[in-house]
Every structure is written in C-alpha cells, then in structure tokens.
Amino acid sequence: MDFDAETIERLRRRLRSKVRYHVGTFCPDVDDLIQETLARFLRAVEDDNIHNPNNLGAFLSGICNHVIHEYRRRLWREVPSEMEAREPGAMPVEAEAIELREAITEALADLSDRDCHLLRSFYLDEKSKDEICAEAGLSDSQFRVALFRAKARFRKVYRSRVKYRAPGSH
C-alpha cells in the first residue's frame, strides 16, 4: 500500500477534526497528536500489520483513539508545578496527591478482584490490552466490556467515597 501526499493530507484533515473534538479546539498539542497518529499508521502499513485493508479508516481511528488516550493519561500523571499560584489556605500539592491516592486505593479495595486487576493493570501498570487479555483469558471484545464495566463500578464507588468540595474548603 502506498499513500501519496494528497491522501496523507486528506487523512491529516480528518484526524484534525477528530482530535480537536476529543481534546479541544485550543489544545496546543493537536498537531503533535495528529503527527504521532500518522506516524504509527504509516509504520503499521510499512510493517504490513493491517489485518483488514478494507477498513483502513477504522484502523486509523483506533490508532488515533489510543494516541489521545495516552496523551490524557500523560497529562493526568504530570504533577502541576509548585510555581503555579495557589489559593491561600489550599492544601499543598503533596497532600492533595496523597489524599487522591488514598481515595483511589480505598475505591479499588471495594471492587471485585477481577475489576481491581483490570483497572490496576491497564491504568496503573500500563500493561497492553493483549497482555491483560492473555493473563485474564479474555477476548478483545470481552476485555473492552469488562474494562468499561469496571470503570463504571469504580466511578460509582469513588464518587460515593469522595465528597465534592468547593475550592478552598476542607
């Protein structure tokens, strides 16, 4: 499969609208996310890793979803700079991080072993979907459904434990 410059530019335009929709129009990293998606896509084409060439659009969309997901996880993990202005009386960043970790640990403890293992493996240990499927004996579709349901159960438990507070009130 060969892609000419016009085809790549058409893919780039489609990706731009998708990425902007998911991360926001004013996100400064839109072009980087598009470039990373295209690089992975073209690498897969070169390595002949596309199992169904009739569904290139879906394949490219899946790659884009993974890139966006990785981007969001990276943003979530980055610790805000201590140089940022903080409200008077606000908790220090370290205290907030400890409080958040404790709430997550408690919420995970309330889940079933399977849900806890899936969420821990995928989000905290950053294992690939294929690794987790092999460990748990799940198919791709079973994994997606199990992960979706585990996230929903986690969200419910987490929200019941954490009280939403107005900024500055502790």
For residue 82, is it within any domain?
no
Quick: pLDDT tens for 50-108.
888 788 888 999 999 999 999 888 888 775 554 455 555 555 556 666 777 777 888 88
pLDDT of 145: 92
Domain count, the chain: 2
33 pLDDT band (50/70/90 cuts)?
very high
Which CATH number characterizes residue 151's domain?
A: 1.10.10.10
Residues 62 and 105 in one domain: no
Pure H helices in 47-139: 56-77, 93-109, 113-119, 129-136
3-state secondary structure of 92: coil
Contact 87, 168 (CB under 8 A): yes
5 pLDDT band (50/70/90 cuts)?
confident
Residues 133 and 109 in one domain: yes
Residues 62 and 108 in one domain: no
- Does the pLDDT of residue 49 top 70, yes or no? yes
pLDDT of 52: 84
For residue 97, is it within any domain?
yes
**Mean pLDDT over each residue of the chain, to the nearest integer:** 81
For residue 64, is it within any domain?
yes
Average pLDDT estimate for 108-135: 87
Percent of the chain with pLDDT over 70: 82
Residues 104 and 131 in one domain: yes
Residues 63 and 101 in one domain: no
Which H, E and C letters describe 132-163, residue by residue?
HHHHHCCCHHHHHHHHHHHHHHHHHHHHHHCC
3-state secondary structure of 146: helix
- Does the pLDDT of residue 168 top 50, yes or no? no
pLDDT of 81: 55
For residue 83, is it within any domain?
no
Residues 61 and 112 in one domain: no
* Residue 28 lies in domain: 5-77
| Environment class of 127 (CB within 10 Å of its CB; exposed 0-12, middle 13-18, buried 19+) | middle
